[in-house]
Homo-oligomer: A and B are copies of this chain.
């Protein structure tokens, strides 16, 4: 093959973002790539020519196996949005100069919604300026909010962690309650889409009653109705556990977390960082029921718990990376790899590519018909969709009793 490869990772990390990296590296090596570079901290590092030779760190297949077991972005991530091409041609010219300097013909970016904008802008610029480089996006987000693809790598592992912890938290909460129930509110990530919070429902089974209520940002939150339901549960059950999305909001648009408590700040993409709605709700619940309450935030644990990753997710993330390389090799550019699932009973996946213009900055939410009529749970349709995504495990490599990771500190050459 002609030219070198560069790979970047962007946005909030996941438990399997490094499996996609492993897939691209393996495919590039199998196909004779001479040099495989990594952007240190995504496009933000690339602009500063902060570039890593991946061959200094990853030499053998056993390194790739460890990379798959390493949480978070091995190469470092960023939250950096490229400027519009119009009026910022100098930025783009500089980027293509760097690519030419390193003889880069294959450019891969593993990321979510905002990151796919980078692939769009670079491939648009390349086409308009007769550049030969190919730009392919690899989907990655625990939020599962990318369109076209059936689901996103990272979601299955986050869902598995959430469902596992939910089972354990429910068991913990059920320990007490001999006289009065403890009411526990678990806050799960998700600004506008409830995919992660819905995963709490996967905990339900023979050995677990699941959360009592699930509130998603897709449905306007009715505080009075909520407190009335919790009051009934508190009077009839010895343990009450409720899953809520960080992004739940009242019908008038105010976020529940803004009703008291949690600190607010805005990230580099202009997203308001939300947290604290569980604390707000437990205070209201304590006032209404007099029961002991507990607010739990799964926080970033949801996106970095590779020790509880889904094997299905790890394999799919790897295959997405591998397929991205194959797509670039056959000449695709300005595309993202998408997964199709023709069958959910005999679960099968195919890997295709799709025009990046239809994907960047579009957000996929949970269909209304997958949520119960009263808006307080997800139904069988969601369970059928999500159940295959959490199957299987990949045992960590343990040293000194702890999962071992591959890091940029562990240079081999």
Q: Which residues of B contact A68 (CB under 8 A)?
A: none
| A390 partner residues in chain B, CB cutoff 8 A | 400-402
| B207:A409 contact, CB within 8 angstroms | yes
Q: How far is the CA of A45 from the CA of B177 in the complex (A)?
A: 10
Which residues of the partner chain B approach A308 to less than 8 Å between Cβ atoms? 307-308
Say yes or no: A72 contacts B174, CB within 8 Å.
yes
What are the residues of chain B within 8 A of A267 when measuring CB–CB? Answer: 292
Q: A171-197: which residues lie under 8 A (CB-CB) from chain B?
A: 171-172, 174-179
Decide if A407 touches B300 in the complex (CB within 8 Å): no
A25 contacts partner chain B, Cβ-Cβ < 8 Å: no
Contacts of A167 in B (CB 8 A): 402-403, 405
A78 contacts B by Cβ under 8 Å: yes
Instruction: Give 8 A-B contacts (CB < 8 Å), ordered by A residue.
Output: A160-B401, A164-B403, A168-B305, A206-B409, A265-B286, A294-B299, A390-B402, A393-B401
Q: Which of A284-310 contact B (CB under 8 A)?
A: 286, 292, 294, 296-297, 299-301, 303-308, 310
- Contact between chains at A78 and B405 (CB < 8 Å): no
Highest count of chain B CB atoms <10 Å: which of A45, A77, A312:
A77
A87 in the interface (beta carbon within 8 A): no
The answer to the question of A86 belonging to the interface, with a C-beta cut-off of 8 Å to chain B, is no
Question: CB distance B307 to A168 under 8 Å?
Answer: yes
Q: Are B304 and A296 within 8 A (Cβ)?
A: no
Determine whether the beta carbon of B163 is less than 8 Å from that of A402.
yes
Q: Is the beta-carbon distance between A41 and B178 smaller than 8 angstroms?
A: yes
Which residues of the partner chain B approach A220 to less than 8 Å between Cβ atoms? none
How close is A286's CB to chain B, nearest CB, in angstroms? 8
Additional 17 contacts, C-beta under 8 A, given A168-B305, A294-B299 = A13-B171, A42-B178, A72-B171, A76-B175, A77-B176, A160-B401, A160-B402, A165-B305, A171-B304, A171-B407, A202-B401, A206-B399, A206-B410, A209-B409, A308-B308, A390-B401, A392-B401
Residue of B nearest to A9 (CB): B175
Please measure, in the bound complex, the distance between the C-alpha atom of A63 and the C-alpha atom of B335, giving whole angstroms.
52
A42 CA to B267 CA, complexed, in Å:
48
Instruction: Determine how close the nearest CB of chain B comes to the CB of A58; give it in whole angstroms.
Output: 14
**7 A-B pairs with the lowest CB-CB distances in the bound complex, closest first:** A41-B178, A390-B401, A72-B171, A172-B304, A77-B175, A168-B304, A391-B401
Q: Check A211 for interface membership: any CB of B closer than 8 A.
A: no
Residues of B within 8 A of A103 (CB): none
Report the bound CA distance from A117 to B413 in whole Å: 60
- Binary B-proximity of A141-162 (CB < 8 A = 1, otherwise 0): 0000000000000000000100
A208 sits at the interface (CB 8 A):
yes
Choose one: B171, B179, B265, B392; the contact of A70 (CB below 8 Å).
B171
Q: B76, B174, B208, B282: which contacts A76 (Cβ < 8 A)? A: B174
Q: Mark A51-74, 1 if CB is under 8 A from B, else 0.
A: 000000000000000000011110
Distance of A72 from chain B, by nearest CB (Å):
4
- In the assembled complex, the CB of A197 is this many whole angstroms from the nearest CB of chain B, namely 17
